[in-house]
Amino acid sequence: MISQNLNKYIMKKTQFAILLFVLGGVATSIMVSAQEKKSPPATAEGKVGRASISIAYSSPSVKGRKIGVELAPYGKIWRAGANEATIFQTNKDITVEGKPLKAGKYSLFAISGEKEWEFIFNSETGQWGIKRSGEANLDPAKNVLTVKVKPGKSASMNERLTYVINAKGVALLWDNLEVPLAIK
């Protein structure tokens, strides 16, 4: 009799533990999904001359924050998006701001500034955009191209970070900011 009651007790506790485990997994999945939606993945695709260019990034919102302060702090290397490092890909050799860039896939990083931005094309891809310390996750030895550009005012407010590809090149649009990259 005691053995039977003990078995029932153990069975109920085991079922309860399994239920908690399953519910915990569902809650974690919901939390991860909610976090992913804060800066959803986005892709910009287009042609510049004969080159097909794509940029895969996560698109953070401004949410009342100031670019250069809370977002993409001035003078600090930034992953040019959110989550994973932004990926810039071209199927043809191109020039970016007059400097050559071979066909390939690159992580794109940026250093924002009030009067000047730098874009860094790095040959390492697939990494998370920042280290645990909060620094950009790039190996400077793998930088293949750095260009400087002048930011300007965008034609309209963009709550979410957006990349646009057109015949002149690429533009980063965010808040009231437009940062163009001339590509040929």
Measured CA to CA, the distance from residue 61 to residue 13 in angstroms comes to: 45
For 160-172, the pLDDT digits (tens) are 999 999 999 999 9
Task: Quote the pLDDT of residue 130.
Answer: 80
Give the rounded percent of residues in the chain with a pLDDT score beyond 70: 80
Q: Is residue 56 exposed (0-12), middle (13-18) or buried (19+ Cβ within 10 Å)?
A: buried
For 31-52, the pLDDT digits (tens) are 444 444 589 999 999 999 999 9
Task: Quote the pLDDT of residue 34.
Answer: 43
